[in-house]
Chain A
Amino acid sequence: MKKQTGIQHLLGIEGMQPAAIESLLDLGETYLERHRSGKKIKKILKNRTQINLFFEDSTRTRTSFELAGKRLGADVINMSTSTSSIKKGETLIDTAMTLNAMRPSALVIRHGSSGAAELLAQKVGCAVINAGDGRHEHPTQALLDALTIRRRKGRIARLIVAICGDIAHSRVARSNIHLLNAMGALVRVVAPPTLLPDSIDRMGVEVHHDMEAGLKDADVVMMLRLQTERMGGSFVPSTPEYYHFYGLDAAKLAHADPDALIMHPGPMNRGVEIDSAIADAPRSAIQEQVETGVAIRMACLDALCRDLPDMGDD
């Protein structure tokens, strides 16, 4: 989390201290439990405005942030710009300045360009939460993954986590690598070489091109979505070939720890990167990730906005 003139942002996991991560996970867990048990949640963001500014299509992340804000009592406004005139990057700062003039407490941004959230944070006077910027970071995804792992496995430290698939184009992978390393997990990346970025080993991961070796004794198997445009020769020869070597099926999963947790940030391509039955198996945490996501985003909104001056008139 980055402090700037008293305002805190959540732009990325890189550089975050383990204690800061831990406290967000704790707060997320509290929100998860409270919601599950039907306990009252304090409307801590009452009279505050949260704007979701999405320059890329996203249903689940935007909905998750919307629900998180509403459960905390915020007025949530969605600006989905994928089809409107402000899609182009040229107007990012102008858009931000306009929204800033509406005096929101939090701005949740997703943008196709790496660094867009950071650029926005330099220009506005409210908390900025990065909901995904290019291939750079998606910090709330990594936090919700971490909370999911911690709840299922009781810890993160010393777990073997295999992140499999399109690492090169994935912000989820980058945020997870930073977070899991900070929390002391052993991180592996498993992918065909064309889907691994240069010097990925310098980010503190073990690199594998083979699923059998990559999944060996893994406690957590994290599958990534393979974008359809990467198949068909540009990065991998075909969907069937990818599935044959990298799709998570029972045979490959057998190399992992018998209690290995299966995760996927969604949306899944069943039959491309993951076998349908495995996605729905009891040790799959994929649905739980969605629930945890709302709680974690509540925690982030709470942590960033609670100390901001009250905008309300009551």
Chain B
Amino acid sequence: MSADRRVVYMNARLIDPATGLDETGGLLTVGDKIWDFGQDLFSDGVTDGSEVVECDGKCLVPGLVDMQVFLGESIDATSAAAAAGGVTSIAVMPNMSPALDQVALVDYIMRLARDAAVHVYPIAAATKGLAGQEMTEIGLLREAGALAFTDGRAAISDAQVMRRLLTYARAHDAIVMQHAEEPSLADGGVMNEGEMATRMGLPSIPAAAEVMMIERDLRLVEMTGARYHVALVTTAEGIDAVREAKARGLPVTCGTAPHYFSLNELATAEYRTFAKLSPPLRSEDDRRAVVAGLADGTIDVIVSSHDPHDEESKRLPFDLAEPGTVGLETMLAMILELDHGGHMPLARGLRAATCSPADLLGIPGGRLEKGAPADLVIFDPDAPIRIDPEKFHSKAKNSAFDGRPAQGRVLRTVVAGETAFKAD
């Protein structure tokens, strides 16, 4: 790529969730950076021989930053799915084989990441082998490029281990991310506890399993002062606990995924294994609480929690199927639903998937700013679509949103000034 390549994006609805900017104008990228943008830029139509991308009034926003992606497929396949979904940066979870718990493995991911279509950042294991017992080399891993520490799908359940982790991580200003689910309460459960699970005859997980783990951890955060992030909040009470902790000034943040604000446990009807997730889809009251938590800013980030599984892992009786849904290619449409449904302004939803996660992880991007990375997505917020996994760039088709009508189509994704995806 030429370092002085100039691309002009004309007649775009420029939205910057970081500043609240929402106006029609132009944007110029030079090389891999945003050079300038605004209402008056190129309003005279003179572009000095730059390449021109006509945006026809569609939205031009910072590329999405997704801080929870499971590498169930190759980095190439995952990056392609990300680009198609308007996601320009992904943080990959340590749940791979072998677990991402050593410097050499983080190096390896960083090296693969250099050739990927989007920016890829590693999140390292908090404990060796994700076994929840001995802490990993947090300092060295941090220096190697790991952005945060977590055991991913497994909760760090031992209180003493968690306390030491937080204490140690604090010295390296590292974030510890928790899968908030008390394992002994969740043991054997495959869906949310309630009438639905009772009717379906499925072993279930009470909402309290999430709340208890968050509340315990908050005590430890209070003791240690470390930065703590709940990877996925899915329950009303879990969100209340975080809201309260924030009010007390604790260094706590939390995230959620589109399925927790777009779907509830009813999606598992007829034993639909694509809707088997961890944490499980919750009640309608919980879903509404997630929407409210996003609207009032208690929930800081939206992640896709992209988790590809092949057909054989899902074509099973519900209790035997793997949990997880792909999400990179549906995240934007689901965020737009919050706006279309009148639950929050578009900028609020976008914020949770752009500057908010970027700032949390300390990575560049996620905003329209002179000198910021030219990571952009152009989309039509209103185009009606039906979510069709057959059209996904991800090889895995296990989407909890399979067949759902939605609005919003990604037209072009730009990563470091280069077009990484363009709609047909």
Contact = CB atoms under 8 A, between A and B. Distances in A.
Contact of A171 (B201, B271, B315, B317): B201
Interface in B154-200: 193-195, 197-200
A197 B315 contact: no
B358 to A, nearest CB: 40
B200 A92 contact: no
Contacts of B312: 90
Interface string A87-126: 0011011000000000000000001011110110000000
B149 interface: no
A119 B276 CA distance: 15
Contacts of B201: 114, 133-137, 171, 174
A52 B318 CA distance: 22
Interface stretch (A198-206, A207-215, A248-256): A198-206
B360 interface: no
A214 to B, nearest CB: 19
B369 interface: no
Nearest to B198: A197
A200 B198 contact: yes
Contact of A118 (B194, B197, B198, B270): B270
B402 interface: no
B319 to A, nearest CB: 5
Contacts of B317: 89, 92, 111, 113-116, 119, 133-134
B316 interface: yes
A113 B321 CA distance: 11
A49 to B, nearest CB: 24
A75 interface: no
A14 interface: yes
Interface centre among B200, B203, B271, B319 (most CB of A within 10 A): B271
B193 A114 contact: no
Given A197-B197, A198-B194, A203-B199, A114 B271 contact: yes
B202 A135 contact: yes
A203 B195 contact: yes
Interface string A120-159: 0000000000000111110000000000000000000000
Interface residues of B, number: 21
B101 to A, nearest CB: 29
A174 B194 contact: no
B354 interface: no
A115 B200 contact: yes
Contacts of A200: 198
B204 interface: yes
A39 to B, nearest CB: 39
Contact of A202 (B195, B206, B316): B195
- The interface centre, meaning the residue of A133, A135, A136, A197 with most chain B CB atoms within 10 A of its CB, is A197
B323 to A, nearest CB: 15
Contact of B271 (A14, A89, A118, A197): A118
B271 A119 contact: yes
B112 interface: no
A134 B202 contact: yes
Contacts of A171: 201
Which of A89, A115, A200, A202 has the most chain B CB atoms inside 10 A of its CB? A115
Contact of B199 (A89, A134, A174): A174
A199 B207 CA distance: 14
Given A114-B202, A136-B200, A198-B206, 10 more contacts: A92-B317, A114-B200, A114-B319, A115-B202, A115-B271, A119-B271, A134-B202, A134-B319, A198-B197, A203-B199
Interface of B: 193-195, 197-204, 206, 270-271, 312, 315-320
25 contacts: A92-B317, A93-B315, A113-B318, A113-B320, A115-B200, A115-B270, A115-B271, A115-B319, A119-B317, A133-B317, A134-B201, A134-B319, A135-B203, A136-B201, A136-B202, A137-B201, A174-B201, A197-B197, A198-B193, A198-B198, A199-B194, A199-B195, A200-B198, A202-B198, A203-B198
